[in-house]
Amino acid sequence: MWQQAQYLLMRLFPPARKPVTPWTVAPLLISMVLTVGIAFWLEASRVLLLTRPWLLSLVVLSVWVWWLHMAGMPGLPWLRSWMALWVRLAMVGILAFLLAEPRAVRENDRQSLMYVLDTSDSIGRSAKDQVLRYIAETVTKKPARDEAGLSVFGRNAAVELPPRTTFLAEALNTDIRGDATNIEQALSLSSAMLPDDQAGKIVLFSDGSQTEGSLDRILDELKSRKISVDVVPIEYDYEHEVWVERIDLPSNVKIGETYEAAVIVSALSAGQGKLVVRENGQPIVEETISYREGKTRLAVPLALRRPGYYEYTATIEPEAEADSLAQNNMAMGGIVVEGEGKILVVYDPTGNPLDWEPLVESLNKAKKQVDVMAGVDFPRDPSSLIPYDSILFVNVPANEFDGVQLQALKDSVFDLGTGFLMVGGPGSFGPGGYHRTAVEEILPVTMDITQKKVLPKGALAIILHTCEFPEGNTWGKRITKQAIKVLGEQDEVGVLAYDYNDGEKWIFELTPAGKYEELSLLINSAEIGDMPSFQQTMQMGIDGLEASDASSKHMIIISDGDPSPASPDLLKRFIDAKVTISTVAVFPHGDVDTPTMTSIAQITGGRYYKPTNPNQLPAIFIKESKTLRRSMLQNRDFFPEVASSSPVLKGISSLPELKGYVLTTAKPDAQVVLKVPPGSKEEESQLDPLLAIRQHGLGKTAAFTSELGKNWGKDWVAWGKYEDFLNQLTTDIARIRKDTQLRLSTYVEGAQGVVIVEDFAPEEGFLEISGRVGGPNDRSESLTFRQVGPRRYQALVPLWGQGRYYVSVAGAGTKIGVDGQPAERKESTFGGFVLAYSPEYLRFGSNRQLLEEIAQRTGGRVLTGDPESDELFPKEREPRQSSRPIFDWFLVALACLVPLDVGLRRIQWDWSVVAGWFRPRREVTSTMSTLLDQKKSGSQQTTTETGKPAAEASSSRKTPPQRPPVIRKPPMTLPPSPSAKTPPTSEKTQTEKPAPGAAKSTYEKLLEIKRQQQKKDEPPAKD
């Protein structure tokens, strides 16, 4: 073991073949001192930064490289030897620098400043105008190289102008929701606009009345980035203000009894006003009241005559000059009066009444309480749906609703246990535009029909022109994505737009809509410009559509009508290709119909739209996208087949014929009760559901893919079991109502909601209470209850916006059963509350303390608001350092030194040859006669050498000097054996030796050294 280690050590550190002297050690010491010294000097002078400076210690490897050089004895001349050593020491130094991760340091004394303006409703218009004047005056003092930008905020934040050397913001153009104040989001967005390589500063104009967000994280981040926040407090203090704090409603009511509600009115000073209380929109109290400073309680009698949901609104109309904010003059609340569950039938007001009237008539005959409602009137919150045990959509398309209404339905099913049934028809399921919506999530079927191999597909091309209204391009992108959601997985979609850099182009060419996630990213990153003409984009669109193998093709154009029209020849191509075009004129100049847009739609057989509100755009695009989904309608006669047993089919042995249905695919967890028989042998392996049922959360949903009216289902309407089928189907999916001993009450207190649950069970026991609250912006939160009294539980809900909140509560515990033994107890109840206005409208003074904290934690200042005295662009400032990696330069240097090292050690240089490269060449002026004379002279020289004495040679011509003999390498021979005799060597075979004193070439010197070495290696001759 020791010998192996000793051998390895000798290999790594062989003995030196040269004496170590100060002269030989000098290169090592100089290189190490230079490497370390240069590193310290570069860092001290802020030219270079080493990320891992400790790795510079690897320069000690120079000792090993130096020792190998000393022990190697390379046999090089001293100059080349020293040069090779210096190159290798330089390579070690560069390698150490490289591993230390060098970064080039750049100093920048420019400043980038963001003005951040609070535009929430608590800030008056005069204060905003004053801030804009302050900005305009202070920005004139900005040095030419500095940058300034502007962002505004309320509930959300937006950049009005990014930091630039030229500041041109004269008015506010960004649409900001003013019903809340979110300083955190404003600071986060503004800091993201500030570059890291410049000194950054934020100037905040606000009242400090934050209603959303938390500042701790963003303030720490700003401090770490060395971004200071100077604050300009917007101070105000209302002297007169009155608001309706809340309306207290009874939590446990019975039909036919009279109750009392209480309206709580708060005021900063006493006054008078008119109080109006409405029940489901109808006034029940109108009277003039007097209120005092502080809180005033006003009683209102209530009489509840029938079950259902009752919503109450209390409004105060104060005298002039007695109120500052009108948004907080109203409070809302609701009561659910329990009774027999009802059924809500939703229909399309533009559709055929025969689709839903037979269904409603049969349900009424079955003693069901039925309410009929148009799709546009569908409630927007789950609380309003509590009175309904089941909801039926009868051939009503998705464009009759908005996203809030469909989300309310989804929450009602999942959290409140409401049943849901969708009845088929041309306006339902996929053809109705429900693909990738909240309704599809809860249904037992999906609109993806990929198992249909021969299903015809459609192709849709969308042309986007910049929309010149607040956040217009954002709207255009949003509705384009919504339109793609409606399409099937195999349908193709492409989007064209005008880009300021690339002109007319495809954002993405016709692509299967199933790649929605990829396409949405391309849409979000698109830059939509002001298109000069429709010609090029429509030309590109028809080229793509004609190349597609889709059976149905359509184009949608959204524009303000400014671009010049397409040529008649191009429009004829659309007509010949049977491609229809629908146009959407968004805020055209002059607010008149544009002839360009209307003519394109009329000529190609499309539709023309001119919406008056951006909120109408999603419904338009969904409606247009549905034109490609007609292939999902199957118009053929068939008799349904039973796929599985179900209570829905109780007492039903045979089913009548249907005339058509909508293609869908059953979800894996759905129960298919009825199915469509295959129409051909190719479809035998495919299952088309007719009736499917599924449990979703607390509720149950069903899908009947054919009609129950007098079109596809006319034989069913005349069927004797039609009423029984509908009764059993709606009963199966309806919410199961159970008697509960839990009482739920809710109310709003400031910026939070209070949920109270009381247990009125006969026997006392502990309950584990859990709950969930849902509200605006499709947001929901879990509730954490704590016991605040005997059989009384409470949870607090931080409110996140104005609107309706619904609450579902479940209790679990034990009870004494009928046999006297402990039994499991499970109960649930539902309720809700309404936040009529945001906490933003309960701020009646500025919060200067919060603004001072922001300035203190970020190293900023509290400014006076005087543009003359406030210095925002100081002349003396600390430069901001930035760095970037430069290891690539060191790699280049290392790559250059490696071949140089090899060249110095392995290549033999003949400096005389090298010098010859640079000597001037002699001109050859020999003529033909001169060449002939030389030839004769050569022949005479030859005659002399063959036997004639040299004296006979012509004395007039000199003999040219002989060339030195060529030394040829003798062939390798084996040493002679002792018995062998050496033959005599002829003089002619012996190599002629050069004359003494003749200069030897390098080749001759090497050959002589080799011969001497061979003689040493020969064995001695034996006598």
In terms of C-beta density within 10 A (0-12 exposed, 13-18 middle, 19 or more buried), how is residue 977 classed? exposed
**8 A C-beta contact, residue 703 and residue 662:** no
Task: Tell me the average pLDDT across 113-122.
Answer: 93
For 242-337, CATH number out of 1.10.443.10, 3.40.50.970, 2.60.40.10, 3.90.1150.10 equals: 2.60.40.10
- Residue 795 clears pLDDT 90, i.e. is over it: yes
Q: Phi and psi at residue 344, in whole multiples of 5°?
A: -105, 120
- What is the structure's pLDDT at 998? 53
For 742-842, CATH number out of 3.20.20.70, 3.30.565.10, 1.10.8.640, 2.60.40.1930 equals: 2.60.40.1930
Would you state the torsion angle of the CA atoms of residues 170, 173, 178, 180, taken in this order, to the nearest 10 degrees? -90
* DSSP character at residue 375: G
- Same fold flag, 113-236+846-878 and 458-610: yes
Residue position matching structure tokens 């000529």:
603
Give Cα separations from 937 to 334, 470, 940, 952 (angstroms).
133, 104, 5, 14
User: What is the share, in percent, of the chain residues with pLDDT greater than 70?
Assistant: 84
User: b/e string for 704-720 if b means 16 or more Cβ within 10 A?
Assistant: bbbbbbbbbbbbbbebe
Give the range among 77-91, 763-777, 816-830 with minimum mean pLDDT: 816-830
Residue position matching structure tokens 């789950």:
382
- What is the structure's pLDDT at 966? 45
User: What is the share, in percent, of the chain residues with pLDDT greater than 90?
Assistant: 34
- Residue 454 clears pLDDT 50, i.e. is over it: no
Please name which of 780, 818, 821 lies closest in space to residue 799, comparing C-alpha atoms. 780
Q: What is the pLDDT of residues 715-757, one digit of tens each?
A: 999 999 999 999 999 999 998 777 788 888 888 887 788 999 9
> Terminus-to-terminus CA distance in the chain, angstroms?
48
pLDDT-derived band at 197, boundaries 50, 70, 90: confident
- Residue 379 clears pLDDT 60, i.e. is over it: yes
More confident residue, 839 or 922: 839
Task: Tell me the average pLDDT across 313-332.
Answer: 89
- What is the structure's pLDDT at 944? 46
- Residue 126 clears pLDDT 90, i.e. is over it: no
Q: What is the pLDDT of residues 393-440, one digit of tens each?
A: 999 999 889 888 999 999 899 988 899 999 999 889 988 889 888 999
Distance, in Å, from the CA atom of 799 to the CA atom of 604, rounded to the nearest integer, reads: 51
**8 A C-beta contact, residue 466 and residue 529:** yes
Task: Tell me the average pLDDT across 252-259.
Answer: 79
**8 A C-beta contact, residue 552 and residue 630:** yes
Query: In CATH, which superfamily holds the domain spanning 113-236+846-878?
Result: von Willebrand factor, type A domain (3.40.50.410)
Q: What is the pLDDT of residues 472-527, one digit of tens each?
A: 677 778 778 877 877 777 788 999 988 877 788 999 999 988 888 889 888 888 88
Other beta carbons within 10 angstroms of residue 898's beta carbon come to 11
- What is the structure's pLDDT at 843? 82
Give Cα separations from 831 to 334, 337, 385, 387 (angstroms).
9, 11, 11, 11
User: b/e string for 812-834 if b means 16 or more Cβ within 10 A?
Assistant: eeebeeeeeeeeebebbbbbbbb
- Residue 562 clears pLDDT 50, i.e. is over it: yes
Q: What is the pLDDT of residues 658-706, one digit of tens each?
A: 999 998 989 999 999 999 988 655 555 577 899 999 999 889 999 999 9
pLDDT-derived band at 935, boundaries 50, 70, 90: low
- What is the structure's pLDDT at 971? 47
Residue position matching structure tokens 């739609």:
601
- What is the structure's pLDDT at 673? 95
- Residue 890 clears pLDDT 70, i.e. is over it: yes
- What is the structure's pLDDT at 455? 56
Give the range among 83-97, 584-598, 788-802 with minimum mean pLDDT: 584-598
Q: Phi and psi at residue 970, in whole multiples of 5°?
A: -70, 150
pLDDT-derived band at 180, boundaries 50, 70, 90: confident
Q: Which fold has domain 458-610?
A: Rossmann fold (3.40.50)
**8 A C-beta contact, residue 710 and residue 725:** no
**8 A C-beta contact, residue 801 and residue 835:** yes
- Residue 616 clears pLDDT 50, i.e. is over it: yes
Task: Tell me the average pLDDT across 778-798.
Answer: 89
Task: Tell me the average pLDDT across 335-347.
Answer: 85
Strand partners, 369: 342
More confident residue, 905 or 195: 195
- Residue 115 clears pLDDT 60, i.e. is over it: yes
Task: Tell me the average pLDDT across 938-945.
Answer: 50
* DSSP character at residue 237: B
pLDDT-derived band at 1021, boundaries 50, 70, 90: low
Q: What is the mean pLDDT of the chain?
A: 82
Contacts of 46 (CB under 8 A, 6+ apart): 105, 107, 881
- Residue 380 clears pLDDT 70, i.e. is over it: yes
Domain ranges of the chain: 1-107, 113-236+846-878, 242-337, 344-450+633-733, 458-610, 742-842
- What is the structure's pLDDT at 681? 56
**8 A C-beta contact, residue 113 and residue 139:** no
pTM for the whole thing?
A: 0.59
pLDDT-derived band at 1016, boundaries 50, 70, 90: low
- Residue 118 clears pLDDT 90, i.e. is over it: yes
Q: Which fold has domain 344-450+633-733?
A: Rossmann fold (3.40.50)
Distance, in Å, from the CA atom of 121 to the CA atom of 663, rounded to the nearest integer, reads: 50
